[in-house]
Amino acid sequence: MKNIVVLVSGGGTNLQALIDAERSGNIIGGKITCVISSNPNAYALERAKNNNIPTRIIPRKNYSDPKAYSMAVLAALDEEHTDLVVLAGFMTILDECVTSKYAYKIINVHPALIPSFCGEGYYGLKVHEAALAYGVKVSGATIHFVNEKADAGAIILQGVVNVENGDTPEVLQRRIMENVEWKLLPKAVSLFCQDRIEIVGGKAYVKQ
């Protein structure tokens, strides 16, 4: 059984999707053993507590720079005997001290079709604002491994939704969450826990 540690900063609907998937037997070979929040007030912490999942709070604002923060996260991950790290609405970029030690063991959900609308500064609603400002007709979400560059690691799964006339960032965000994020994040986590994601030449492939 792989130990899954989920990192959160906000509402935690993706964490909830993972909890629900685990409860219904759809995370094969893995168990959420800890939730770590960068934000002491994140509602995601309530979701973890309601499901008896141990929590840790490592407030981002207590650390002067990303490296110092990442060192604290790294220590916690090691203490938790982490096999898989899931960034589920985690709004802090992790330094290489974490991404190199946990190479191909950190999965992120990004709310756009990478390589569009991604990288530093693209997070949360800002991503959907940028997609609507550009006028794209489809958007979606990407589940990918995390490396030393923001949103640049190997893509595992992607899913698409249509952009409709009159969409607001909030409406588009919700459509992408419901139709893509909440489905594909648990699916990718389950594939990882079954050792069904293969890396060849820096790219990720799902084994049948």
Q: Find the residue with minimal CB distance to ligand GAR.
A: 89
Smaller CB separation from ligand GAR, 74 or 88: 88
Least CB distance from residue 42 to ligand GAR, whole Å?
A: 8
- Residue 16 to residues 48, 50, 98, 115, 170, Cα–Cα distance (Å): 8, 10, 25, 26, 19
Return the beta strands (E) in the chain as ranges.
Answer: 2-8, 30-37, 55-57, 84-87, 106-110, 138-145, 155-162, 197-200, 203-206
CA dihedral sign of residues 154, 196, 56, 176:
positive
Least CB distance from residue 105 to ligand GAR, whole Å?
A: 18
What is the DSSP annotation of 88-123?
Answer: SS--SPPPHHHHHHTTT-EEEEESS-TTSS-STT--
Least CB distance from residue 175 to ligand GAR, whole Å?
A: 11
Q: Is 110 a catalytic residue?
A: yes
Reduce the DSSP state of residue 10 to 3 states and report it.
coil
CA within 13 Å, CB half, 169: 12
Residues that bind ligand GAR (CB under 6 A): 10-14, 44, 88-89, 109-111, 123-124, 127, 173, 177, 181
Say how many residues make up the chain: 208
Smaller CB separation from ligand GAR, 111 or 153: 111
CB–CB of 141/181 below 8 Å? yes
From the list 81, 110, 128, 144, the catalytic residue is: 110
Least CB distance from residue 111 to ligand GAR, whole Å?
A: 4
Instruction: Give the distance from CA 172 to its chain's centroid.
Output: 18
Smaller CB separation from ligand GAR, 26 or 179: 179
Least CB distance from residue 22 to ligand GAR, whole Å?
A: 15
Smaller CB separation from ligand GAR, 39 or 190: 39
Active-site residues, by number, are 110
